[in-house]
Amino acid sequence: MNLIDVKIRNGEFNLILPYRPPFILGHDVAGDVVQVGAKVRMFKPGDEVYARPQDLRIGTFAGFIAVKETSLALKPKTLSMEEAASVPLVALTAWQALVEKARLKKGQKVFIQAGSGGVGTFAIQLAKHLGATVATTTSAGNVALVKSLGADVVIDYKAQDFEDVLRDYDVVLNSQDNTTLGKSLRVLKPGGQLISISGPPDPAFAEQIGASAFMELMVRLLSSGVRRKARAVGVDYSFLFMKANGTQLREITQLFEAGVLRPVVDRVFPFEQTNEALAYVETGRAKGKVVIKVK
């Protein structure tokens, strides 16, 4: 379960995503293969697998879902089904932000916001594996957690403003509001990268989803302010809309099985309490991920 499930349910992405009610929520899945198509070669019935279903297709809050072979990977042997279900969206988001887009290198400095959240818990671990110095924000009660994941600089967002602490960072992974986005520009050094997973979407995103000319114009206008401010300080701004990718998920699997990464699961709800689970995610107090289990 992810915060984006709550936002889609609340209609926050109606203008840019093609989902029309009634539809089933859910972006992560782990389970057993029960049937395969005639051209499937990599998987067979009985395989334990996990995935973020293919782009612009959701529906994992159900007993069964069809997933493209290219979006799927074998579940890490070291993880339970519940742990594996918590991984795909956030781990792929962290991978595509830090490895694919930022090309994070040893010795660089990265600021990962909301370090105790779903994306944050994976991004901290991945950044440390890549050799970066990692700063993050969290509440006082989660300081020990984010330090155990590898955070070098931990800022209690209730007591300090990260803008007063951080300087000359190479990469910022933004997951918060527009105010935080503006501050993030000021902690980057010239040539740095501001990668946002919470918006505003940029023209590259409109191209990625094949948006209409009108929608492309709207997206361009939505992000014009932050893109202009980024250019003024010599920083690159980009919006990341995570893509399903079974190949990358298999690389992530190897990191789990090698002990480089570990999942952080806050609570597991039974399927019958899906609405309660969504309400809990919406509070923003979850440490890591929230999972629902279908019997």
As a whole number of angstroms, the distance between CA 11 and CA 4 comes to 10
Looking at residue 14, its pLDDT comes to: 83
Counts for the chain of helices (H) and strands (E), in that order: 11, 11
CATH number at residue 169: 3.40.50.720
In which domain, by residue range, is 60 found?
A: 3-88+244-293
**pLDDT in the model for residue 288:** 96
Q: How far apart are CA 1 and CA 265, in angstroms?
A: 11
Contacts of 169 (CB under 8 A, 6+ apart): 109, 110, 111, 135, 187, 188, 189, 192
244-283 residue pLDDT tens: 999 999 999 999 999 999 999 999 999 999 999 999 999 9
Exposed, middle or buried: residue 82 (CB in 10 Å: 0-12, 13-18, 19+)? Answer: middle
Same domain, 250 and 203: no
**Residue given tokens 């600021």 in the structure block:** 111
Q: Chunk the chain into consecutive blocks of 10 residues (it has 295) and report each block's average pLDDT, rounded to whole numbers.
A: 93 83 95 98 98 93 96 98 98 98 98 97 98 98 98 97 97 95 97 95 87 89 95 97 96 98 98 96 94 93
Phi and psi at residue 250, to the nearest 5°: -70, -35
How high is the pLDDT of residue 18? Answer: 82
Q: Tell me: do 44 and 180 sit in the same domain.
A: no
Q: What does the pLDDT read at residue 212?
A: 87
Query: Do 53 and 73 lie in a common domain?
Result: yes
Could you tell me if 194 and 286 lie in one domain?
no
Quick one: 221 and 256 in the same domain? Answer: no
* pTM score of the predicted model: 0.95
Question: Structural domain tally of the chain?
Answer: 2
Domain boundary among 194, 221, 239: 239
Indicate whether 35 and 148 sit together in one domain.
no
Same domain, 80 and 99: no
End residue of a domain, out of 194, 209, 239: 239
pLDDT computed for residue 295 by the predictor = 83
125 and 174 co-located in one domain: yes
Last residue of a domain, one of 239, 269, 284: 239
pLDDT of residue 208: 84
For residue 195, which of 269, 116, 284, 95 has the smallest C-alpha distance? 95
Residues 19 and 142 in one domain: no
In this structure, the answer to whether residues 44 and 171 fall within a common structural domain is: no
Q: Are residues 25 and 134 in the same domain?
A: no
The answer to whether residues 138 and 218 belong to one domain is yes
